[in-house]
A = this chain, B = another copy of it.
Amino acid sequence: MKSNLPPLGPKADKDTVRRSNLSLVLRAVRDESEGEATRAGVAARVGLTRAAVSSLVEQLLDSGFLTESGKTFSGQAGRPGTALKTARTGPAGLGVEVNIDYVSVCVVDLAGTGRVRLTEHLDNRGAPPAEVLARAARIAARTLESAREQELFPVGVTLALPGLVSGGAVRQAPNLGWNQVPAQELFAASLGAERPGHKALKVTSENEANLAALAELWFGGLERVRSFLYLTGEIGVGGALVINGELLRGAHGFAGEIGHVVVDPEGPQCRCGSRGCLEQYAGQAALLRAAGIEETGSGIGVAELERRARAGDERAVAAVAGAGRMLGRVLSGAVNLLDPDAVVLGGVYRNLMPWLSPPIDQELTDRVVSGLWSPGSGRLRASSVAGDAARGAAALVMTEVLADPVAYAGRTAAR
């Protein structure tokens, strides 16, 4: 019988404990960003003494992670406290989403708030990967200039990439036509060339649907939903699984490929090599084709589809409903397999929900064995933002800063 309990962690020394507690206090303040954080409130929340919290707060103020504003009257007895906030300057995260028909770059601050955004719509299918990534690096470099003007200094970059991403490379992105592209390395070299004399930023990479799901988890107002299946309708159909508040990446990083679950084994040939994948019925191209709308690669087609559906155009409505049935069929299987709290639809699906959700609900009601997925259950929902992988990517960088602020103390504006 193999050990199935985690071993004891390393011995905690005083320095480690203080660094952990600094992280705890910083995160507690950030989580209160919509209200007002006070030393007393933080102490109550994290379970440390008021004196300990005060000392930790002083260090975080000194090193520029926190700022302090005027008195706050919480309505409780005792002296008024001052309101604490995470700094709007200093260490930041950079997220760069390279997708089929756009590049979007985002800078977030300690609170995860998007502070700079630069998006370029362009068709990346025609160009060699190195060129696409060099263009993304140019857009990133421009974004960094804007960030610098706001005294925000990214400590790292996460690339959000479509397809199978692992070890810094895109192993396969059928819709881009990429195979074994060392994206991280190419991007890092290009960004370095764009910014001579600057310190190189650490670059990591991740599947774009995974990052969009993280953005949804962190910023989507999901309340108590901690396990969900996320689908993003783009040129491809991306997917991600969040289980107990964490990404399920799979043994090789390739989990979530719901777009390539087979719907009809004899269906149309898919770019992945298989036949009858969900993407062939519910991807953007299939949707537009079924509605009789020419695909332009610039997102105009989808807006037109929505306009026609809203106007009651029968062909448009039938196209979306047909995609919904296929989505519902695959989703019912995924729900039987995973029993998530919710299914969240992003990307182009978000605005098509009025016509997508009835057939999806029908399939879920008929086919989910637990019986928990009736239309009124609220378990099927539209994403709160249109699959914002770039913000998720930028915020992922910040999790490292929040986990150990001391390691990044030199990077704040206060120094």
What residues of chain A have their CB less than 8 Å away from a CB belonging to chain B?
1-5, 7-8, 20-21, 23-24, 27-28, 30-31, 33, 46, 111-112, 164, 171-172, 174, 217-219, 226-227, 239, 241, 243, 245-246, 248-258, 260-262, 265, 272-275, 277, 329-330, 332-334, 336-341, 366-372, 395, 398-399, 402-403
Contacts and interface: CB of A to CB of B under 8 A. Distances in A.
Contacts of A2: 31, 217-218, 245
A111 to B, nearest CB: 6
B21 A1 contact: no
Nearest to A171: B370
Contact of A239 (B253, B265, B337, B371): B337
Interface centre among A3, A27, A31, A341 (most CB of B within 10 A): A3
A23 B254 CA distance: 36
A27 B46 CA distance: 33
A207 to B, nearest CB: 11
A387 B214 CA distance: 36
B31 A5 contact: no
B5 A366 contact: no
Interface centre among A226, A250, A272, A399 (most CB of B within 10 A): A250
Contact of A274 (B46, B251, B274, B369): B369
Contacts of A339: 249-257
A402 B277 CA distance: 46
A164 B8 CA distance: 34
B1 A111 contact: yes
Given A1-B219, A371-B172, A337 B336 contact: no
B262 A332 contact: yes
Given A4-B246, A164-B370, A261-B332, 9 more contacts: A1-B398, A3-B27, A171-B370, A251-B341, A257-B337, A260-B369, A262-B333, A265-B329, A337-B338
Given A262-B332, A370-B171, A248 B243 contact: yes
B261 A336 contact: yes
A231 B219 CA distance: 36
Contacts of A226: 251
A256 B218 CA distance: 27
B333 A366 contact: no
